[in-house]
Structure 1
Amino acid sequence: MGTVVLTMKASVIEMFLVLLVTGIHSNKEMTKKIKRLKFNVPQINCDVKAGKIINPEFIVKCPAGCQDPKYHVYGTDVYASYSSVCGAAVHSGVLDNSGGKILVRKVAGQSGYKGSYSNGVQSLSLPRWRESFIVSESKPQKGVTYPSALTYSSSKTPAAKADLWSTPTYTSSQNRPGANPGVQRQDSSGAAFQKPVGADVSLGFVPKEELSTQSLEPVSLGDPNCKVDLSFLIDGSSSIGKRRFRIQKQFLADIAQALDIGPAGPLMGVVQYGDNPATHFNLRTHTNSRDLKTAIEKITQRGGLANAGRAISFVTKNFFSKANGNRGGSPNVAVVLVDGWPTDKVEEASRLARESGINIFFITIEGAVENEKQYVLEPNFVNKAVCRTNGFYSFHVQSWFGLHKTLQPLVKRVCDTERLACSKTCLNSADIGFVIDGSSSVGTGNFRTVLQFVANLSKEFEISDTDTRVGAVQYTYEQRLEFGFDKYSSKADVLNAIKRVGYWSGGTSTGAAINYALEQLFQKSKPNKRKLMILITDGRSYDDVRIPALAAHLKGVITYAVGVAWAAQEELEVIATHPARDHSFFADDFDNLYQYVPRIIRNICTEFNSQPRN
């Protein structure tokens, strides 16, 4: 009996052990299955944008071929969510073009995204975007659960209402264990959409909270064919009235829309004037048409007089600065809107603005009638103010209700950078050739003084390959090109080149030097550049200067003759452009040359600014 009992106990224990082992094995298998399901990585196509995926952090698998430029990427290292997820991964170097798994983490939107070329992908710049993401290798972080199914926002616009409601919150074709597979279909990106549990497809209805906001298109970088820095001076005086002020604001908003504002195109700021001017926003404040229009709508009228002249002076001194977003290489344009006529003078303020390189446009609305003309301080104020009196820079509108008719003509003219003549000033629009006497009578010490004089003149100009360019010739009996107009493109390089010029010593053949400068320097001058020759000599020429000087004048080279010590006054006057009193100078000593720098610069600018504005 005891033996039977022991045998039964042994059997029971054996069965228990078998069940225990089987259970442990089953649990291990279940755990393996769960783990396999847990790390099941969703696969996406190359054109899926990060903004379409709602999950804040996820691991996905990218296919091969995402290096293609059609999969747009915006930014470097940190990418705007409008970018292709897989394209960004290739650009960042996390993946190559063969695809693979990546970890994606959403971060805050940036104020700007810088484009760059990396790993065969050209990313684009973007001024701002509401959401960003970064990509890294697919190493799961401890304690973080990654979705095996992604949640997508809607890909349909509100206009396609029925279709939008039938394709609400979506997950990829990889489903969690036990989930209802639901109804699936493919969107244009290749991701499988799944109807969530509880939604009634037959009724075409999805709870409102299931619908996600639609991704917006990226903000434009602006029209590169209209890269201008633009200031609008709007009339906020009491005489204009609230209704007409609203029309003026609407006109500005329409201009902002038509211009396609952006950092690669036009930038626009607004100054309102009454008794005194005030900047509402500068060139940096709003860098796209949408934001600019919103800001314009919020402008309130200041009231007071219509002191347009004071406003123009304010813009000249304050608006077009680097701190306010002025880009330097872009033409500066100021458009002045005037209700009737200004209550102060505009001529002097406008002259200073033009000499600063600002293109002044005037739009006058509802001008003075006969019995009001006595109140106009400058009867011909428009022609005294605008950049050129050829009709290009001025508009007159009979009624505020006709203001919109000037919109397209104004946009066309503002963007016509070839005709914005006042963008060029006396300091940034010339090819200047120095012709330097290196004869024996000068001497080494005085020659260094002459070079300092040349450097002091050069310092006054804005030097670059597109602004003023400088070249130099030294002469004795012979001539030598020290450097041409295309040799140096910065002020520092030009000044260093002047310092390096070596003293030659010899005779004085000034006529031959002028001919040489015409052939070796000014023959290579740009067609749209003013040509200035500044000749410095200390004595009478051994050859004739009359014919070479006449040749220079006929070729449009404005010649300044600077004589020192034993130079012949009558010869300087022959060399100099007419009138000689403005183009010829004489110093009795080399040490006094420096005194003539401001006078020569002033005469160069006076001549430039006195040219006919028709």
Structure 2
Amino acid sequence: MFINKMISSLPIEDHKYRVGLAQYSDGLHREFQLNTFKSSGPMLNHLKKNVRFLGGSLRIGNALREVHTTYFSNGRDRRQFPPILVVLASAESEDAMEEASKALRSDGVRIISVGMQGTPEETLKAMATGQFHYSLQTVRDLSMFSQNMTQILKDAAQYKEVAAHSHTVDPFPRACQKDSLADLMFLVDESVGTKQNLRNLQNFLKNITFSMDVKDNCLRLGLMSYSDRVQTFSLLSSSTTQSEFQKQIQKLSLQAGKSNAGAAIEKMRREGFSASSGSRRAQGVPQIAVLVTDRPSDDKVREAALNLRLEDVTVFAMGIQRANKTQLEEIVSYPPGQTISMMKSYGDLEIYSKNFLKKLQNEIWSQISTHAEQMELDKTGCVDTKEADLYFLIDGSSSIQNKHFEQIKEFMLAVIKMFSIGPDKVRVGAVQYSHEKEVEFDINDYTNDVALRKAVSNIKQLGGNTLTGAALDFILPLIRKGRKQRMNEVPCYLIVLTDGMSMDGVLEPAERLRAEHITIHMVGIGEANRTQLQQIAGAEERVNFGQNFDSLKSIKNEVVRSICTEK
């Protein structure tokens, strides 16, 4: 899926991008050369039909040497067409690869290393050109990471090595490093128990901030603490150097009292991330909050955290010892698997600081890298999806609050905005369900964007129980009918959105839909059952889950990108 998305996003032509592919284990298996395919279509077809998993031991060094002679020994003008090698690794190499990496880089090849699961950071760094090394938690994270690859490839192509004696590399001709442009607030629970725990917490904060480019026009840092009450040590506009922020960290002290995280998050939103305190949200600078706690909150956190995230703040959480993971999932940004880190002790927190720093830098880099790409997508829409039938099947059961149902409608409007609406272009239909079913509008009812958007805005929530299986069976005849009204066959997509577990079976109804070549994208929120989501979508990459309804914004981008790039 990662390779498919990469290929689909690139303009593959003789005088633009050329792509080659090889697998490696004990040796190198050449799938195709750089000049084998002249466009993406035949390449994707070859991948689907011919590429199979090899298996075997992991010898990265040997693979790099063979790649060098097989793919990069000659070719086009390297000044006009810089050679780039993307290496995917899933574990530590069983042979040495430093010399092979160095030889490639000396020959002008830019290396981007991407590691999953247990790949050591040192392995990725040893391979990579500059800072083009990325560590992902799971294979599934590749799908999300693929969205950044177009920009990363452009950055790598423009990369210039500095003099050999220099130890600093700045590939971005700007006032600050690309992964240090953000407004970053720390919110820490000061009731840590012992002086040693406090020192570990302080060292964690020092380690994180010591490696970042702290200055007023780059990284701005803020620090707040809480127990019974909230205390502000540093606003975003206050600490404009590393040394100033380190002084504020030293002011943290042992406190006793309740854990009022909800009140602290609300104060951080109102005061910490306000423009008057130094927030640059209006200028598009990434807004990031990091919560550190070792216990459950004594007050409610869901509403305060939702309000914070709705103001475009990305929220991470470090949970230690007795911290309530379910509660942290209510606080953090989507997806929680990447934004929550659970630790056994404050000692582990200090040790984890290096990995968390990389996670922070990746988040900042990702937000900046994808910002221009997302703006272009918002502006042009899915230009490649000229004809399609798109159906929404939305849960309107009583478990969904009115304001959250409004967010579902906003999600629908945001998706529709990406497509060119018309009878011979993209058509849209919608069904709402609970234990009842309601055709909100058929695929042929609205032939222009204005009328369609008005129809979405007028949808009223049904209320009732959740019977997703029956709703899937209900929509199938509607899709069949819509297909007969087309002169030619076009792709058909069904986006299903629910917040709860279905009270009836979903597998067989979903299989009947997929048997008729209907691609199902499944969006689950809150209490949605993940097994059922998988059964409906039929493929993990088409399942999107968020703890809260505000994650629909990020999910919209993922669903739209998937549809836009699907061949």
Do the structures match in fold with TM over 0.5? no
Between Structure 1 and Structure 2, the one with more helix by share is 2
What is the TM-score with the length of structure 1 in the denominator?
0.35
- Higher Rg of the two aligned structures: 1
Point out which structure has higher relative CO (alpha carbons under 8 A, 6+ apart): 2
TM-score (norm 2): 0.37
